Chain A
Amino acid sequence: MASAEEIYEKVQDTLMDALGVDDDEVTPEATLVGDLGAESIDFLDIVFRLEKNFDVKIPKGELFPENLASADSNFAVDGVVTPEGIDELRKQMPHLDVDKFAEDPKVENIQDMFTVQMIVNFISTKLAA
């Protein structure tokens, strides 16, 4: 069982490889999109690398939420995530910091929940399972 520090360092290496960023940029609070410049396609690359580096399987939509804002769900209305949507996020994605997001639950703010710490949380839970 890897220690928290080992997990953090490996996540850091993963993001340095996937996003071409330096180690001092990859802080726990850094957001993948805003701070580290990730684009949607990088998420798939990150998932591939995490699977390889930690020897885990990460099914589609497990690490990064999907279809939350799609038209046929009632999880988002007029660009804002509904209370049902927030409940769903808490249920499905315990590795996300939903409390902070809930203060201003605009769809465009969803990506601010994707932090380095979020990935560390996810991997820690996954390895403990």
Chain B
Amino acid sequence: MRWFWIDRFVEFDSGSQAKAVKNVSLSEEHMHDHFPGFPVMPASLMLEGMAQTGGILLGEKNNFDHVVILAKVPKLTFHSWAEPGDTLTYEATLMDSRDEGGSTQVVAKVGERLVAEAEIVFVHLDHNDPELGAVDQKNFVFSTGLLSTMDVGAAGDGSK
């Protein structure tokens, strides 16, 4: 099993912003215990989905030449929750990008309802970093269903 916490991108404006969706389902096992009788998407996994949206936005800008690592979450606020049947949208905006890493702002919503807001900072590591195992983030993105969703373009229909 791969650690995917977004289902697909619905908008992708290279180097600028990206929007991904996560459909929350009662068939996800963790929902049964979180919480019994009141299933809601765990906040930690929402943060992971927000970080994946922002991290792929940053990685794609550099053609996945760097390994993008989640380094710091300076700000994270939850305003609401997401239940089975909800579609979470994660809207990431690239705030900064440089050799050493980048920072993003990500907003999570269900429809127009604000669920969470985060600031997420990433650092770049080299593929040949001796402390790093074999990590292929380009493969992570392009060998999966995320491939076609990377072609959505800024407007969601492939156009820029």
Interface residues of A (CB under 8 A from B): 17-18, 20, 41-42, 44-45, 48, 51-52, 60
Contact = CB atoms under 8 A, between A and B. Distances in A.
Contact of A42 (B72, B95, B99): B72
Interface of B is mostly: strand
Interface of B: 71-72, 74, 95-96, 98-101, 103, 121, 123
3 shortest A-B CB distances, which residue pairs? A41-B71, A48-B96, A41-B72
A1 B72 CA distance: 32
Contacts of B121: 41, 44-45, 48
A63 to B, nearest CB: 12
Given A44-B121, A48-B95, A48-B121, A60 B100 contact: yes
A45 B74 contact: yes
B74 A18 contact: yes
B103 A45 contact: yes
Given A18-B74, A41-B72, A41-B121, 7 more contacts: A17-B74, A44-B71, A44-B101, A44-B121, A48-B95, A48-B103, A52-B96
